[in-house]
Chain A
């Protein structure tokens, strides 16, 4: 089953010319749900640090499941079992001894639909900070401002931080949610189709934001939009049927795909 897997992890140079060490190293990861025992099959993948890795593939190919393994969000679902190893630093994410809440502070996540809390803009960004045990109001205010600036939202909301977050537009809400995640200064940010419910202009702003953020953290983005993957990512992983078919620098994957399946998917000849 592995003969058509053309993984060329680590063999190619990233665009910047500096070789990135892996932020996350996935080895032989398999995962099954109760009604889908083969959601992920033998996935091995090293995600380079401080770069954007896009995971593409058809619906139901397991790309969101793979993303949700990285911060153990799959734990919320009953009857999930997985095997394999995901190394984050020297720690195995999948180990039962992992402190999951601490892990999720280091590996932030943004979802498909903007999901701010029904609280004020300020309280939304401060939520994770307060949970992490920061008591000082002054420090929280500073970090909230910093996060909102990093998410390119500060100028739009600085005069109405106490307004409900639900008053913001969809695009602003999604940037607020990103601010909420990066306020905790995570090392990795997981984006699960972050722009699929947004209009083109808001999408563009999110993509610009991704481009800014990758200088300070590792970003993994799941997307249905091939142009988006080509625009924002440095590396691309193509998945099909729960398997990783191909992984490499985005340019290579899009211009010289090694696998026939990848080529078919990218050129739109897929099923």
Chain B
């Protein structure tokens, strides 16, 4: 009897030991896995970047076929005149401006809408099953293919709202559409819609992560619920708002599929910015670097000799997105620096 019970005790301890050992092994494995994943992501990213860089440099500096322009001439033509060399791409400069205009407009739409929705869901709506369903649905919306948003934008914004606007305000110009045709405004709204779930999810997660006693602190100082939300909670969640906008910016600058339907073109008649109010040509079609790349690859006869200039366009797109992200990250770092002594990334 005694021996039996001792045995049970022993095996119990043994099981505990093996259990903790297995856990330790598992956590080691997780660390190894995540470390190797991070390393491979960095390797792939830098490899991609190096590939783009080398092929674009070899095109700029080398001599392909009969052309004998210098690297600066090639660069100038690629950026400002485009097709003169016979490359199947129009000038990059107006496309960069078009991308910027799209990103700025998109941010102006998505930031207030996304933040307001996230605030409503976390700070105002009661946590019922219905609220939970909405939150899950928003998360799922982030995974809907971009082209679907393009189709929706064309039907809802361009023909739906745009058509109505034309009938109400630009009736004398019909049947030539003013707003009832793809343009910068509709593209920006479509992109805002595409990115809305991303921003909402990022901000909601930021709000959920705030300590509950932050709200108590504010209320105990005589703040109303609204004052607490807008003066204590939202400022504390600003870093997560910027995280959402960083993700949205990258997507708006890089996503091409919806733009095929709602406003990007190969040649725009004018730049998207003007000297007249509101300084941005809302109803005009615009150029976009991602679209340029898409168009160049799809509608040209491409051979191995073309990799160079295509890589250059791609490199410009990557740099543009990086610069936009750096701006947002810098903003977030400034805000975080005011909040706490933390790493901006």
Query: Which chain B residue shows the least CB distance to A109?
Result: B220
* A76: Cβ under 8 A from any B Cβ: yes
Chain A residues positioned under 8 Å from B341 (CB to CB): 164, 166-167
Q: With the chains together, A128 CA to B215 CA distance in Å?
A: 13
Please tell me if B223 contacts chain A, counting CB pairs below 8 Å. yes
Q: In the assembly, what is the distance between CA of A109 and CA of B232, in Å?
A: 17
Q: Which residues of A contact B344 (CB under 8 A)?
A: none
Interface presence of A154 (CB below 8 A): no
B55 to nearest A CB, angstroms? 46
Report whether A104 and B235 are in contact in the complex, using a CB–CB cutoff of 8 Å: no
With A119-B339, A166-B340, A167-B341 as contacts: A104 and B220 at CB distance below 8 Å: yes
A73 with B222, Cβ < 8 A, contacts A118-B339, A119-B235, A164-B341 known: no
Q: Which residues of chain A from 70 to 118 have any CB-CB distance to chain B below 8 Å in the complex?
A: 71, 73, 76, 101-102, 104-105, 108-109, 111, 113, 115-118
The answer, yes or no, to whether B191 is at the interface (CB within 8 Å) is no
* Contacts A119-B235, A164-B340, A166-B339 given; does A132 touch B216 at CB 8 Å: no
Interface members, chain B 211-230 (any A CB < 8 Å):
211, 213-224, 227
Q: B221 — nearest CB in chain A belongs to which residue? A: A128
Interface of B is mostly: helix
Residues of B within 8 A of A105 (CB): 221-222
Cα–Cα distance between A167 and B222 once the two chains are bound (Å): 25
Q: A65 an interface residue at 8 Å Cβ cutoff?
A: no
Q: Is B276 an interface residue (CB 8 A)?
A: no
Task: Tell me if B231 is interfacial: C-beta within 8 Å of chain A.
Answer: yes
Q: Which residues of A contact B235 (CB under 8 A)?
A: 117-119
Q: Which chain B positions have C-beta within 8 A of A132?
A: 222
Residues of A within 8 A of B289 (CB): none
Contact among B217, B339, B340 with A111 in the assembled complex (CB-CB below 8 Å):
B217
B301 CB within 8 Å of chain A: no
Please tell me if the beta carbons of B221 and A115 are within 8 angstroms of each other in the complex.
no
Report yes or no: A184 in contact with B216, Cβ–Cβ below 8 A.
no
Option from B213, B221, B224 in Cβ contact (under 8 Å) with A127: B221
Whether A131 sits at the interface, judged by CB under 8 Å, is yes
**How many chain A residues have a CB neighbour from B under 8 Å?**
28
Q: Which residues of A contact B211 (CB under 8 A)?
A: 115
CB contact between B221 and one of A104, A118, A119 (< 8 Å): that residue: A104
Nearest chain A CB to B230's CB is how many angstroms away? 11
Contact between chains at A120 and B231 (CB < 8 Å): no
Instruction: State in angstroms the CA–CA spacing of A119 and B340 once bound together.
Output: 8
Q: Taking the complex as formed, is A47 at the interface, i.e. its CB lies under 8 A from any CB of chain B? A: no
**Which of A109, A131, A184 sits near B231, CB closer than 8 Å?**
A131
Residues of B within 8 A of A108 (CB): 220-221
Chain B residues with Cβ under 8 A from A244's Cβ? none
Instruction: Determine which of B214, B222, B232, B338 lies in contact with A120 in the assembled complex, contact meaning CB atoms within 8 Å.
Output: B338
| Complex: chain A residue closest to B225, CB-CB | A76
A76 with B216: in contact, given A118-B235, A118-B339 (CB under 8 Å)?
A: yes
B161 CB to closest chain A CB (Å) equals 40
CB neighbours of A221 from chain B (8 A)? none
Nearest-Cβ distance from residue B210 to partner chain A, whole angstroms: 9
| A73–B340 CB distance below 8 A | no
In the bound complex, what is the Cα–Cα distance between A81 and B104 (angstroms)?
50
Contacts of B338 in A (CB 8 A): 119-120, 164
A14 to B217 alpha-carbon distance, docked (Å): 32
Q: Which residue of A lies closest to B233 (CB)?
A: A117
A115 to B211, CA, bound (A): 9
Chain A residue at minimum C-beta to C-beta distance from B235: A119
Known: A104-B222, A105-B222. A117 touches B340 (CB 8 A): no
Supply 7 A–B pairs (Cβ within 8 Å), ascending by A: A111-B220, A115-B213, A115-B214, A117-B235, A119-B338, A128-B222, A128-B223
